[in-house]
A = this chain, B = another copy of it.
Amino acid sequence: MRVALVTVGDELLAGDTVNTNAAWLARQLTDRGVTVERVTAVPDRVSDIAAVVNEYHAEYDAVLVTGGIGPTHDDVTMDGVAAAVGQELAQSEPALEYIESHRGYARADLTAGTANIPAGGEFIPNPVGVAPGCHVENIYVLPGVPEEMRGMFGEIEAQFSGTIQHTRTVAAAEPESALLDRIEQLRERFDVTVGVYPGEHVRVKVSGPAEEAVTTAAQWLEQRVEPPEQSTDVDDQSR
C-alpha cells in the first residue's frame, strides 16, 4: 500500500512550526507496512490543497490530509478536498450527533459549518476535539492539532496495512566514504534495502520484509565495521 501525506498550514511554510505531525504519521504507517511516497506541506489556500490532493488521490492508494479543519476563515481544507473530488460541502448529521452525544456540545452552540464535509463522504469521529474528520474516496482528512490528529488516526489505522519491514541499524565509527565497499557488498549479498545516514556516527539501516535476512545482513556488517565507542547507542530494534 502506497500513500501520500498532505499537511496543510501557512505556519509550516513559514518555518513557524516543525512538521512533527508528518513524522509521527509516517512512522505509524511505516510500522504498519505502508510505504509513504510523498509528504507535502501546502498553504491554507483552497486551490493549492485541491491541486495536490487531486494529484495524489489519482497516484496513490490513499491520501492522508492533516490540518486546516476548524471554525476559522483559514481552515479551508474541507473546501480543498471537496474541490479535489468534485463535490460540494454538506453538513454531516452523524458528525453533529457524535459531537452532541460524545463531546458534550449543544449543536446550537457550534459555529456554522463545523460539521461540513464533502458530500458523499463519511465523517471520522474526533475523540479529542470538536472538528470532525472525513473519509471520501481514498482521502482521509484529519485535524492539525497533534493530540486530535493522533486520536483520530486511532479511528482509521486499521484501514492501513502492508508488508511489515524489519529493520536493524548498525552504527560505525568510520566515515561514510570509507564504508562504501562493505555497503556495496551488503547490498549484493543480502536481499535487503540499505540506507546510510551521516551524523555523530554513520548509521547504516538495513531493512526488508524477511526478518532473518535483515538480522543476518546486520550481523555480517557489524562484524566488519569499527564500532563507535558508545556501542550501546546502536538502535537495533526490529520493528
A interface residues (Cβ-Cβ under 8 A, vs B): 10-20, 22-30, 35-44, 48, 52, 70-74, 110-111, 130, 145, 176-177, 180, 183-184, 187, 194-199, 205
Contacts and interface: CB of A to CB of B under 8 A. Distances in A.
A204 to B, nearest CB: 9
Contacts of A24: 15
A35 B15 CA distance: 11
Nearest to A179: B72
A144 to B, nearest CB: 8
A23 to B, nearest CB: 4
How often does this chain occur in the complex, in copies? 2
Contacts of A52: 38
Contact of A14 (B13, B26, B70, B72): B26
Contact of A197 (B11, B20, B196): B11
A193 B44 CA distance: 12
A58 to B, nearest CB: 14
A176 B12 contact: no
